[in-house]
Amino acid sequence: MLLRPYQQAAVDAVYNHLRDRDDNPCVVIPTAGGKTPCLATICKDAVTLWNGRVLVLAHVKELLQQTADKLTAVCPQVNFGIYSAGLKRRDTDNPVIVAGIQSVFRRACELDRFDLIIVDEAHLISPDGEGMYQQFLADAKKVNPHLRIVGFTATPFRLKDGPICAPENILNTICYEVGIKELIRDGFLCPLVSKSGKEQIDFGSLHIRGGEFVADEVEALMDSESLVESVCREIVEQTTDRNAVLIFSSGVRHGNHIVDTLRDKHGIECGFVTGETFSLDRERLLSRFRSGQLKYLCNVNVLTTGFDAPNIDCVALVRPTSSPGLFYQAVGRGFRLHPSKQNCLVLDFGGNVLRHGPVDCLRIKPAGSQSTGEAPAKQCPKCNALIAMGYTNCPECGFTFPPPEKQSHEAKASEAAILSGQVTTTRYEVTDTHYYSHLKRGASEDAPRSMRVDYMIGWRSHKSEWICFEHSGYARQRAVAWWKQRSPDPVPKTTDEALMQIEGGAVAPTLAITVRSVSGEEFDRIVDYELGPMPEPLEAHSMIDELTEEETPF
């Protein structure tokens, strides 16, 4: 069995760790990155080279059968057994046993001695000291005090929050990690792309319970008639050239609403899977979806960990989650390579990219922390200067950052790219433009003001920029250029003067804007405009008025 370079590096890191240290390591390989060959190699070496015995622990029945099948396929020389009540298998004598933790957590002595235990999907280990993993592993160490444990996961943090590796935990340190962008670059994972949603949703009213948004509140927010119709319309528009679209809804009622709307409004069949779906019905739907007979499949948080459909080329998140792990697992369904696809489109209607960051560099809160974990520096979207988080105005160009309170309540169907550093440009039709005088919060009344421009791009949606006529340096230069694009009149010296001239029709209307978004950066940037006809100079009108008045005999 020939391993990829990063797979071989992962196996070598495990062996070095077990040889040089006394604690338990964890390997981090992204979803669809191919951890099964690593597992199989470790199992084979443990049995054939060191005469050891191995237990592979998994969490759910589907993942258990999938792991056993893959291990047998890539390493047929090893005799793999299965211990699972759900699969009606209770093998106990094999050199390698793949077991469900629910079936064995009270049966460590029955399974006899193991030299190595590998925990697949190790992020599912509960932090509770009385959990199933803790109970089983404690008993297994009584059978063999020299037992070693290795974890494999795509997300080295629990689905709620907090890292899985710590000195006091079952797994103590990450011995090897390979990144998503690296595997995409090298052709081992499918590239991801994202497109913006049009609806702006306010998630500020949602409460968190047990590390996740309260389910009833989420479903009530996302299940409005207008929002479901808008989301379904956009999914259909964005997926005309897609083959397999996996939709995550906010609840059973919400999922049924999505399925009904796709059928009734768009004539589209969409399957639906929940935790209550009968096994035969579920397998029939999944089989049709994998084969391409069924293009759209909606689910309520059941097709995350362990679900494998390589043909998925669009993931639509029609739900917010406060769990970075759940967000990752959902997006990860599109990572696998397949001949039918060039990339996977992510449609995030739940504000999850904005909440957690790009999927390759998620922001993880320490356990029990309410902090967002913001970096101590930020980048100005106007001049790209890196400045301290405490600045509300950029000291280089004068750009005024929106207040934090406003940012936290303006989550919207994601316009952020799904991978860090990914650049997306989106053109928006402008329905109206509003101009305001803006004074920096806490500044004195005689401080320089800027002009805030809001470009309306849809119902309750807008993009903003700040034009700094009263500032100096680059900010003033940019204001001059902005004005000369739109008006034949002299550039105003103050914001009030600019607003008066705009009120009199001094600037060309804005018909459309092009917005540049860089994932991982906090603010978008307007990079191009489509303007209407240039107005006549206001000064010319004034001169005509003056001449007319002078020539009037009365």
Measured at the alpha carbon of residue 247, what is the angle toward residues 242 and 252, in degrees to the nearest 5? 155
Percent of the chain with pLDDT over 90: 51
- The residue among 329, 356, 383 that closes a domain is 356
> Tokens in use for 24?
């338990």
What is the extent of the structural domain holding 203?
Answer: 192-356
Instruction: Tell me, yes or no, whether 183 lies in a domain.
Output: no
Instruction: Tell me, yes or no, whether 495 lies in a domain.
Output: yes
Cβ-Cβ contacts under 8 Å for 295 (sequence gap 6 or more): 239, 242, 243, 244, 245, 268, 269
Averaged pLDDT, 223-242: 94
Residue 390 has pLDDT above 50, yes or no: no
* pLDDT per position as a tens digit, 437-468: 988 877 788 889 999 999 988 656 788 899 99
- Residue 306 region, left (φ>0) first, then alpha (ψ -120 to 50), else beta? left
CB-CB contact of 295 with 220 (8 Å)? no
CB-CB contact of 140 with 123 (8 Å)? no
Averaged pLDDT, 538-550: 46
- pLDDT-based confidence at residue 532 (cuts at 50, 70, 90): very high
Averaged pLDDT, 48-52: 91
- The residue among 120, 150, 178 that closes a domain is 178
Query: How many angstroms separate the CA atoms of 138 and 145, rounded?
Result: 9
Q: What rounded mean pLDDT belongs to the chain?
A: 83
Specify the pLDDT at position 459. 59
The answer to whether residues 20 and 161 belong to one domain is: yes
Range of 151-165, 230-244, 295-309 with top mean pLDDT: 230-244
The answer to whether residues 322 and 206 belong to one domain is: yes
CA atoms within 13 A on the CB side of 456: 9
CA atoms within 13 A on the CB side of 137: 23
Query: How many angstroms separate the CA atoms of 481 and 486, rounded?
Result: 9
Q: How many independent structural domains does the chain possess?
A: 3
Instruction: Tell me, yes or no, whether 440 lies in a domain.
Output: yes
CB-CB contact of 325 with 28 (8 Å)? no
* pLDDT per position as a tens digit, 125-169: 876 656 888 889 999 999 999 999 999 998 887 755 578 888 888
Query: How many angstroms separate the CA atoms of 245 and 230, rounded?
Result: 17
Specify the pLDDT at position 341. 94
Instruction: Tell me, yes or no, whether 374 lies in a domain.
Output: no
- pLDDT-based confidence at residue 262 (cuts at 50, 70, 90): very high
Rounded alpha-carbon distances, angstroms, from residue 269 to 261, 262, 296, 497: 10, 7, 7, 57
The answer to whether residues 432 and 348 belong to one domain is: no
Specify the pLDDT at position 73. 82
The answer to whether residues 117 and 198 belong to one domain is: no
The pTM assigned to this predicted structure is 0.68
Specify the pLDDT at position 173. 93
Specify the pLDDT at position 130. 61
Range of 193-197, 371-375, 531-535 with top mean pLDDT: 531-535
Residue 207 has pLDDT above 60, yes or no: yes
The residue to which tokens 């004539």 are assigned: 267
* pLDDT per position as a tens digit, 473-508: 888 999 999 999 999 999 999 999 999 999 889 999
Residue 226 has pLDDT above 80, yes or no: yes
List the single range of 191-195, 269-273, 535-539 with lowest mean pLDDT: 535-539
The answer to whether residues 35 and 108 belong to one domain is: yes
Instruction: Tell me, yes or no, whether 402 lies in a domain.
Output: no
The answer to whether residues 438 and 501 belong to one domain is: yes
The answer to whether residues 161 and 222 belong to one domain is: no
Instruction: Tell me, yes or no, whether 407 lies in a domain.
Output: no
CB-CB contact of 124 with 104 (8 Å)? no
The residue to which tokens 């046993």 are assigned: 97
Is 230 or 303 the better-scoring residue by pLDDT?
230
Q: Which amino acid is at 177?
A: E
The answer to whether residues 109 and 213 belong to one domain is: no
CB-CB contact of 199 with 227 (8 Å)? yes
- pLDDT-based confidence at residue 400 (cuts at 50, 70, 90): low
Specify the pLDDT at position 212. 87
Q: Read off the CATH number of the domain in which 144 is found.
A: 3.40.50.300
Instruction: Tell me, yes or no, whether 74 lies in a domain.
Output: yes
**Cα Dmax for the chain:** 116
Rounded alpha-carbon distances, angstroms, from residue 349 to 25, 124, 200, 439: 36, 26, 9, 33
- The residue among 301, 333, 356 that closes a domain is 356
* pLDDT per position as a tens digit, 95-108: 999 998 888 988 98
